[in-house]
Chain A
């Protein structure tokens, strides 16, 4: 049983500290949808997604009502579409449009999986598929795309990295009337995971079961509040406090995940133990780091504080769930975190420091607005740097940058809603073009040979 203090603590977490289930994501295999033509495949894709996820919004509403905990997002991830349309890559768009229609029919805000996994090499059909990404992101509202260009096991596919720089630029150009918003739906990964419930990088891996429920929890406000109660604790005790809090948050996620899987006739996949911020005050990962004693996030000590936070979240959460997966850690998206936005506006947060932080956080350079005239090769080089950090450190890294057309350092961009707003951050102007154009593959590191 629980006592009075515990009941009030839970209520306080939900009412005042923004404890929520950030997402219930249903992973759906599209492999059984492959037909002899793009039209027939697109129809099968639409029908399958609508049938499997038909009740996702309804069930999330019921669970939220019964357990009294908000469930912010209901989403779907699918098998990487490049595999579904390998026989007709020129018509990949048709699958993208079918997925967008399905997302609208279901009433979900995002659907992930317009994706390709090209970490070791890009097949001809994948090359064609990748080129379809900008126009699909421009013509659809809810479809998200991700491309895995590197892994610790296979190295970095620099040809794909070079191609992705251009694809990010074209996506921005095609959505320039919305400040390049298409790029907010495009993630370039190293070591992408198959069970990530968070957008824009979610896709349903081929090693997964047919229909799976993955849940992402959140609660930066809860962690910050817990630390406010131990203002003079040393870092051992801070880490313990974070662990205890992460445990409670994750247990709530585990409960919802199991129940959602049962009611939606799907397998329970994983709980992703992430601290995912929103632009709302009191829901910021940056403010946790500042609570630990930094004047402003981005200053010296930020990487160490983030490393401790990320590790403590995992340690606290791992015992609370039977299966932990996804990205699990602290997210540091710039435009989606009010503390990060404030730090960037003060000039305290630079892309180089963010890159260092990605070596110890859960993912990578996320939701960073950069000047619209940034060359494609520079974006490729940013991707290569991130991929190198992921490859060498055996972790997932990613790049989701938005080269905002017509804007430069000193301007601000507003994406709206959970995507937030951000000042344009400067990038290095010295050229990386020759390095990027060399192409080829950066070999996998020596420590990947573990067999």
Chain B
């Protein structure tokens, strides 16, 4: 099972490190990362494998949001099926 993590907000030091270490802690394996910086806006998309995660997906998603609030970014973790459904026929 895979999920997509999107991190958006004002560029700051150490965002990737903070998000990656949180995901590693939760048993999520990062498969792909892409990021863009437009002006001072940061957008990162990570595709992660969560097959080995011990917690429920919705619980990890909630903790991602909480981490986002703590570091002043918007962080969302969503099951990849929603993107496949909306963008692939």
| Inter-subunit contact A8/B6 (CB<8 Å) | yes
Question: For window 25-63 of chain A, which residues contact chain B by CB distance below 8 Å?
Answer: 61-62
- In whole angstroms, what is the CA distance A114 to B59 when docked? 38
Distance between A203 CB and nearest chain B CB, rounded to angstroms: 29
Please tell me if B45 contacts chain A, counting CB pairs below 8 Å. Answer: yes
Contact of B86 among A10, A64, A65 (CB under 8 A): A10
From 57 to 83 in chain B, residues with beta carbon under 8 angstroms from any chain A beta carbon are 57-59, 61-62, 74, 76-83
Between-chain CB contacts (< 8 Å), 19 pairs: A2-B86, A2-B88, A3-B87, A4-B34, A4-B36, A6-B86, A8-B6, A11-B6, A65-B58, A65-B59, A65-B61, A65-B62, A66-B56, A66-B61, A67-B79, A68-B82, A251-B86, A252-B85, A255-B85
Contacts of B82 in A (CB 8 A): 10, 67-69, 252, 255
- Write the residues of chain A forming the contact surface with B, with a CB cutoff of 8 angstroms: 1-4, 6-11, 15, 61-62, 64-69, 248, 251-252, 254-255
Partner of B74, one of A6, A15, A255: A15
Contact between B43 and A62 (Cβ–Cβ < 8 Å)?
no
CB distance from A444 to the nearest CB of B (A): 40
Contact A11 B81 (CB under 8 A): no
How far is B82's CA from A62's CA once the two chains are assembled, in angstroms? 14
Residues of A contacting B45 in the complex (Cβ-Cβ under 8 angstroms):
4, 7-8
Give A76 to B68 CA distance when docked, in angstroms: 35
Given contacts A4-B36, A251-B85, A251-B86, 17 further A-B contacts (CB under 8 A): A2-B84, A2-B87, A6-B83, A6-B87, A7-B6, A7-B45, A8-B8, A10-B82, A15-B74, A65-B57, A65-B58, A66-B61, A67-B78, A67-B79, A67-B82, A69-B82, A254-B85
Give the shortest distance, in Å, between A403 (CB) and chain B (any CB).
43
B43 A8 Cβ-Cβ under 8 A: yes
Shortest Cβ gap from B83 to chain A (Å): 4
Chain B positions within 8 Å of A7 at CB level: 4, 6, 45, 83
Size of interface on B: residues with Cβ below 8 Å to A: 27
B-side contacts of A64, CB under 8 Å: 58
List residues of chain B with CB under 8 Å of any chain A CB.
4, 6, 8, 34, 36, 43, 45, 56-59, 61-62, 74, 76-88
A66, B86: Cβ atoms closer than 8 Å: no
A255 smallest CB distance to B (angstroms): 4
The reply to whether A68 and B87 form a contact with Cβ atoms under 8 Å apart is no
Q: Would you call A255 and B81 a contact (CB within 8 A)?
A: yes
Pair A62/B84 contact, Cβ less than 8 Å: no
| Residue of B6, B36, B82, B86 with most partner-chain A CB within 10 A | B86
Q: Which residue in chain A gives the minimum CB-CB distance to B83?
A: A2
- In the bound complex, what is the Cα–Cα distance between A7 and B6 (angstroms)? 8
Residue of B nearest to A61 (CB): B58
Interface centre among A6, A8, A11, A248 (most CB of B within 10 A): A11
Centre residue among B6, B34, B56 by max chain A CB count within 10 A? B6
Q: Is the CB of A10 within 8 A of B58?
A: no
Give CA–CA (A177, B84) in the complex, Å. 50
Q: How far is the CB of B74 from chain A (nearest CB, A)?
A: 7
- Complex: how many Å from CA A252 to CA B85? 6
Closest to B78 in A: A68
| A residues in contact with B57, CB < 8 Å | 65-66
Least CB distance from B9 to A in Å reads 11
**Residues of A contacting B56 with CB < 8 Å?**
62, 65-66
- Report chain A residues within 8 Å CB of B62: 65
The distance from the CB of A404 to the nearest CB of chain B, in whole angstroms, is 41
| Contact in complex: A66, B79 (CB < 8 Å) | yes
Most B CB contacts (10 A, CB to CB) among A10, A248, A255 go to A10
Q: Which of B36, B61, B83, B88 contacts A10 (CB 8 A)?
A: B83
Most chain B CB within a 10 A radius of its CB, from A2, A61, A64? A2
Smallest beta-carbon distance A94→chain B, Å: 39
Which partner residue on chain B sits nearest A251 by CB separation? B85
Residue of A nearest to B80 (CB): A2
Asked if B88 contacts A66 (CB within 8 A), the reply is no
Contacts of B74 in A (CB 8 A): 15
